[in-house]
Chain A
Amino acid sequence: MRRVAIVSQAGSKYSKDSGKSIFDLACEPCAKILNNENLDKTHLGAVLFSSCTTEQYSSTILSELLGIRPQMSQRIDNLCNSGTNAIVSGYSLIASGLCDTALVVGAEKAHSEGNKLRWDVTRGSFMLPVHWAALFAKAHMRKYGTSEEEMAMVSVKNRGNASTNPNALFRNPVTLDEVMTSRKIADPLKLLDCSAPCDGASAVLLASEEKAKKLTDNPVWIRGIGQYTSSASFANATVDLCSVEAAKVAAQGAYKMSKTKPSQIDVAEVHDAFTILEILAYEDLGFAKKGMGGKFVQQNNVAINARGGIIGRGHPVGATGVAQVVEIADQLAGSAGKAQVKGCETGLVHNLAAAGSSATVIVMGTS
């Protein structure tokens, strides 16, 4: 297999309602990426569009709007896990030799009908993501003594980090008291334990090693990928509500492929759609011992969600996985601005969908 690099990455300012169409949103970060004098954008290998939009033929429309005539144009839709699925597809096309470049674009409108999973009758009338997340939280509290304050501290940390991110939906920090007294949504989760849907887009340009050297002096390498799908339904997603089985399997795959240990990760973007999910991620990724996730929130060994995570940055469903990759690529390329983690060499992205029924873990590095 050929090595695959991220040669450039960009995001747009996330907002509750941008007033823009899904395609105008999607073009925004692409304009920054395609403005490279060494890139012949009319002949890109692939355009991969990650979105849950109900617009048909969307990757092909996006290609035309960007003036690209790609060999391959595909739309990838896997709910909140769409973005990293698109990255994996782009990686595969390049690693296999089918393409030399792939533009991976994620974009979403906050209230797209495509963002909602209606199929899962195992959830009964409690269909919302916050309902399964609350059951995960209750289980972790009961079994391991994790507290509401520990969960709230995830929000305090990530909202604080988002204050340095110019693209974040929420740039105002919150206090522990504000999280704890925010409106109850599903016990023990409160409003500020939850991420918010929003409009937003992010994009990365992937390239083969040979092509990458012509396009940038500062490539970031995709070193390992793990994915796993345990189900589509909440009922069959995981036997133990105190962990996300798909994430554990995906992490093992990514660590093995990249020959990396959890202790070698310097920076990570983990899927904090709800505070409890970040605590579960600490354990599922091997950063913390099982049951100790709540105590791990205030550690300093690894920089987690350094630019706000999903809670701070916002959650445009199909764009989220791409945005996570953009954040880690920025960190490893040294272009993360005020949130830059000094000297980081290895990063990780952890992206989930639908009650943790599917997961992607990607390990990236400077070499």
Chain B
Amino acid sequence: MKQDFHTMLRQGKFMMPTCVSCGEIAWPPSANCPRCLSATQLKKSVTTGTLLEFTRSHVTGKEGVFGLVKMGDIRIVGSFDNRPLAEGMKVKMTGCGLLDDGTAYYRFVPASTRR
């Protein structure tokens, strides 16, 4: 399933491995449900969430703002542009994919300015 998650990610689609038996989301992605160990299948994910914490990286090649987002039942580290951010802000995923070196990326922007 992880391969499938990455296959979809490469196409710019964020699909969550979801348990066919109990509905649990397998995150990080897995072919098996971490709760009941049944098989998972990819399902469309919610793409909005809450920004829990954010900061800015100055690492060469990895510059930019990034933050931890709670999106449904999962938490994920996304990248942001230079729009003002605040902890607790609603955010939405606007893109995802794989970089040339195979590293995943998830792009977010503020969904609204309300907290």
Which of A118, A119, A122, A184 is close to B27, meaning CB atoms less than 8 Å apart? A122
Q: Are A126 and B75 in contact (CB under 8 A)?
A: no
Digit string of A116-154 for contact with B (CB within 8 Å is 1, else 0)?
Answer: 001111111111101110110111001000000000000
Q: Which residues of B contact A287 (CB under 8 A)?
A: none
B contact residues around A185 at 8 Å (CB): 57-59
When chains A and B are docked, how far (Å) is the Cα of A130 from the Cα of B59? 9
Contact of A124 among B6, B55, B76, B87 (CB under 8 A): B76
Q: Which interface class (under 10, 10 to 19, 20 to 34, 35 or more) fits B?
A: 20 to 34
A124 touches B56 (CB 8 A): no
Q: Is the CB of B106 within 8 A of A124?
A: yes
Q: What class of interface size applies to chain A in its complex with B?
A: 20 to 34
Is B54's CB under 8 angstroms from A234's CB? no
- Give the residue among A126, A233, A234, A235 with the most B Cβ atoms within 10 A: A126
Most buried by A among B67, B76, B87: B76
Flag whether A187 is at the interface (Cβ < 8 A): yes
Asked if B39 is an interface residue, CB under 8 A from chain A, the answer is: no
Q: From DSSP, what is the main secondary structure of chain B's interface residues?
A: strand
Does A31 sit at the interface, judged by CB under 8 A?
Answer: no
Note all chain B residues with C-beta closer than 8 A to A241.
52-53, 68
User: Which of chain B's residues have a CB closer than 8 A to the CB of A137?
Assistant: 55
Residue in contact with A121 in the complex, picked from B57, B67, B75, B104, CB distance below 8 Å = B104
Q: Is A186 an interface residue (CB 8 A)?
A: yes
B29 CB–A CB distance under 8 Å: yes
Residues of A within 8 A of B27 (CB): 122, 233, 235-236
Measured between beta carbons, the chain B residues less than 8 angstroms from A173 are: none
Residue from A128, A142, A235, A236 in contact with B59 in the complex, judged by beta carbons closer than 8 Å: A128
CB nearest to B52 among chain A residues: A241
Known interface pairs A187-B56, A234-B77; 14 further A-B residue pairs with C-beta atoms within 8 A, sorted by A's residue number: A120-B28, A124-B78, A124-B106, A126-B79, A128-B59, A130-B57, A131-B62, A135-B53, A142-B53, A184-B58, A186-B55, A186-B56, A186-B58, A241-B68
Residue pairs across A and B with Cβ atoms less than 8 A apart, 6 shown, are A124-B76, A124-B78, A126-B66, A236-B75, A241-B53, A241-B68
Going nearest first, the 7 A-B pairs with the smallest beta carbon separation are A235-B75, A125-B105, A124-B77, A184-B58, A126-B66, A121-B104, A186-B57
